[in-house]
Copies of this chain bind each other. A is one copy, B any other.
Amino acid sequence: MFRVHRTDGDARRGELVTPRGTIKTPVFMPVGTLGPVKGVTPGELREVGTQIVLGNTYHLYLRPGPDIIENAGGLAEFTGWKGPTLTDSGGFQVFSLAPLRKITEEGVEFRSHIDGSTHFFTPEKVVEVQSRLDSDIWMPLDVCTPYPCDRAYAKDALLLTERWAQRSIAFRPNRLFGIVQGSVYEELRREAAKRLVDMDFQGYSIGGLSVGEPKHLMYGITEVVTAELPHGKPRYLMGVAAPEDLVECVARGVDMFDSVLPTRNARHGTVFTFEGRLTVRNAEFADDHTPIEESCDCYTCTHFSRSYLRHLVKVGEILSMRLLTIHNLRFMTRLMEQIGKAIEEKRFSVYRKEFLDKFINGGQR
């Protein structure tokens, strides 16, 4: 169940009710592909303000497998993250396996990236696995297109995605979002959105973006799709989370985001601040005994200096990955909280301009 409480232009402030709790939107979802968000505990996720975590059906299906997770009592009991989880279908991962996969009308055969074993995903099976994981929001199996991708291919992929969506919702409709594909072709995207809306999903995902296309296309397609989606359902832009993209796509009516970007950047030593990005290993921080960001209330900023964090990164200490991940996750929730408040107070367009001025002009140090 989803409700929009306030709007400001196309930006929305709302609430999404899931079996494991209510999520305030707009929301960023950290990625825990294999269960954990890499390097951090469920307690740390809560502490930085995480509302919902994203898991991956393909990866969890292969390791540790749905039997073990079901025996544990579901993903929440297995991982210790007791809040809501959204599981991606694994469509994106399976289609990245080319040429190790074969698409048919029935589903997709693929070979495991771990041990080469052969598996077959149907739309029904992917929903069933997610049901056994007992995650709170499910994604149907879809056909992801690369970029660039010619129109005919994009259209065929889209039509198959729609037939699979129909089978998924017929199999088990609760907790299921529809995924709008159609590459960078506005007409295909519009038609896809309309047909999925007719099927009446719990929410709508925008897939196939952030795969290499220029930013103006990502923003443009997002705008085209959200215009077709019903006001009263949540919209989730898959795989997008650069801070500037978040702000731009909230402005275009998106409610939910996920990406490994903030956590992967952290593990590689890059952190976000409201004044731009910092490369922690830079020599300029060697003797800098101030925190990453004075205004930040995260564990890392309240306990450690740039100098110490740089030392940890330089010597390859795994603690640095955790501490920088905590900061970047807290940055994302602070950003989303500020965006939400700006929408509530009908000053989002001013906030958007001010944030982008500082963040983009701050550049990367």
Contact = CB atoms under 8 A, between A and B. Distances in A.
Interface of A: 34-36, 38-42, 63-64, 67-68, 71-72, 78-80, 286-287, 289, 299, 303-305, 307-308, 310-312, 314-315, 317-319, 321-323
B307 A72 contact: yes
A40 B307 contact: no
A35 to B, nearest CB: 7
A72 B305 contact: yes
A315 B59 CA distance: 10
Nearest to A35: B311
A79 B308 contact: yes
A32 to B, nearest CB: 10
A36 B289 contact: no
Contacts of A314: 63-64
Given A34-B315, A36-B312, A318-B38, A80 B303 contact: yes
Contacts of A42: 303
30 contacts: A35-B308, A35-B311, A35-B312, A36-B312, A36-B317, A36-B319, A38-B317, A38-B318, A39-B317, A39-B319, A39-B322, A40-B319, A41-B299, A41-B319, A63-B314, A63-B315, A64-B286, A64-B307, A64-B310, A68-B286, A68-B307, A68-B311, A71-B287, A72-B289, A72-B308, A78-B311, A80-B304, A80-B308, A318-B322, A322-B322
Contacts of A315: 34, 63
Contacts of A286: 64, 68
Contacts of A71: 287, 289, 307
B317 A318 contact: no
Most buried by B among A42, A286, A315, A321: A315
Contact of A318 (B39, B64, B307, B312): B39
A76 to B, nearest CB: 12
A79 B317 CA distance: 13
Contacts of A78: 305, 307-308, 311
B68 A287 contact: yes
A42 B78 CA distance: 27
Contacts of A318: 38-39, 318, 321-322
A68 B307 CA distance: 8
A163 B67 CA distance: 66
A317 B41 contact: no
Contacts of A312: 35-36
Contact of A317 (B34, B289, B305): B34
A63 B312 CA distance: 10
A63 B281 CA distance: 13
Given A39-B318, A72-B307, 18 more contacts: A34-B311, A34-B317, A35-B311, A35-B317, A38-B319, A39-B322, A63-B311, A64-B307, A64-B311, A64-B314, A67-B287, A71-B287, A72-B308, A78-B305, A78-B308, A80-B304, A318-B318, A318-B322
Most buried by B among A64, A289, A310: A64
Contacts of A303: 41-42, 80
Contacts of A304: 80
A285 B71 CA distance: 13
A63 B64 CA distance: 40
